[in-house]
Amino acid sequence: MATRVKPVAPEHLGERAADLFGERFGTVPDGVWIAPGRANLIGEHIDYTGAKTMPFALPYATAVAVRVHSHDRLRVASTAYEDVWEGAVSEVEPGHPNGWPAYVAGVPWAMTYHDTIARMPGLDIAVHSSVPEGAGLSSSAALESAVALAIAELFGAATDDAGRRTLARDCVTAENIVAGAATGGMDQSVALRARQGRVMLLDCSSFAVEYLSLDLAAAGLALLVINTNAPHRLVDGGYALRRSTVERVWSGIGRAAVSEGTDIDEVLRRAAVDDPMLTGALRHVLTEIRRVDAVAALLRAGELAAIGSHLTASHASLRDDLVVSSVELDCAVAAALAAGALGARMIGGGFGGSVLALVRLDHIGLTLESVRRAAHDAGLPEPDFLHATPSGAARRVC
């Protein structure tokens, strides 16, 4: 029988991070902070056009135990890796270190670069996470955001909403410049600014937010995250290629094409794009922006079940127009819909990762079994199923 992976309580995440800190560094941390992973209800691959997206925080999070010291050393440990990474603070720079430590070391580097803090400190950091890595649930943004909030609080930087917007910017810089991953600011914004029981209607041009209620249980509904266990890797090039394609075609059109309410076919005709890939990218952006507006209107009206068709249409656009899906994602979407899901779509950068499905509470078991069986019959990895309850933002837990 397929089952859902239960979230780990924040205090238990924090305790494990603190225990690891003691094991690896032989002392106690100054504190422990957590930040959540995220799912995006609608609005995929349009954040970097400055359009609106609709992310929410998941009840799966990353905890960091942090201690500041006066040495020119940065030491990072994780329950996911056996070795402690260690390097000189002064040697952190664009492209260094490599791999997962870049998402940690890059944050204080970026905070210093932007003058959020006066100097890059020596740090010991221990990490424990319940956000599945490579599942398209923004494990990297959760890690960055937890580190950023910890450093901000320890050094007296602002942590109100305006301060958290600044920290999100710093995290984006860390990921883009030090880690070398071409991501936007949506993931870090939701990790730092989410609200319990709400989705964020996030304007990615101004980073203004409207919080919309998503009381699924009251409507007899649930959102499931289906982790296909086919990991996506944003630094492998597929995401960056699609992003550059979208940015290139969008630069010649701009948001006025949408705000004018012009027919999409007319916009495509005026764009005079001959390349089918560019035409598909533009069609996806235009239709996804309108889907975000439609879903926002339905949520304001309390018509939660009606958003399902827009989720499914989003997946079709990502699959056929932007071409960022995968056989695992398509299989999970088809199986969920076949079991009666009201809507389903891939989430995240694509090329693997996870699916978000809107299901009736009394259809959860049927949906889980349908997706599991379809993956098995197709010779694909066995998926995991996660709760997708809108949760709170990064915070200190001890």
What are the pLDDT tens digits along the chain (398 aa)?
566 788 988 889 999 999 999 999 999 999 999 999 999 999 998 988 889 999 999 999 999 999 999 999 999 999 999 999 999 999 999 999 999 999 999 999 999 999 999 999 999 999 999 999 888 888 999 999 999 999 999 999 999 999 999 999 999 999 999 999 877 899 999 999 999 999 999 999 999 999 999 999 999 999 999 999 986 544 455 667 777 777 777 776 655 555 555 677 777 666 656 677 778 888 898 899 999 999 999 999 999 999 999 999 999 999 999 999 999 999 999 999 999 999 999 998 888 899 999 999 999 999 999 999 999 999 999 999 999 999 999 999 99
pTM: 0.92
Which pLDDT score, from 0 to 100, does residue 66 have?
Answer: 98
Nearest to 206 by CA among 168, 176, 246, 173: 168
Q: What is the DSSP string of 124-148?
A: EEEEEE-SPTTSSS-HHHHHHHHHH
CA atoms within 13 A on the CB side of 231: 10
Residue type, 270: R
In sequence order, which residues have a C-beta less than 8 Å from that of residue 126 and are 6 or more positions away? Answer: 17, 18, 20, 21, 24, 25, 29, 64, 65, 76, 77, 78
Strands (DSSP E) contained in the chain are 4-5, 31-40, 52-53, 55-69, 73-78, 85-88, 122-129, 198-203, 209-213, 221-230, 343-347, 353-360, 384-387, 395-396
Which pLDDT score, from 0 to 100, does residue 230 have?
Answer: 86
Quote the longest CA-to-CA distance of the chain: 65
Which pLDDT score, from 0 to 100, does residue 385 have?
Answer: 96
Give the residue numbers marked as catalytic.
187
Q: Edge to edge, what strands does the sheet with 85-88 contain?
A: 85-88, 73-78, 122-129, 55-69, 31-40, 395-396
Question: Do 194 and 200 meet the contact criterion of CB atoms below 8 Å apart?
Answer: yes
Residue type, 16: R
**Torsion, Cα of 388, 390, 394, 395 (10° steps):** -110
C-alpha of 54 from chain center: 11
CA atoms within 13 A on the CB side of 102: 19
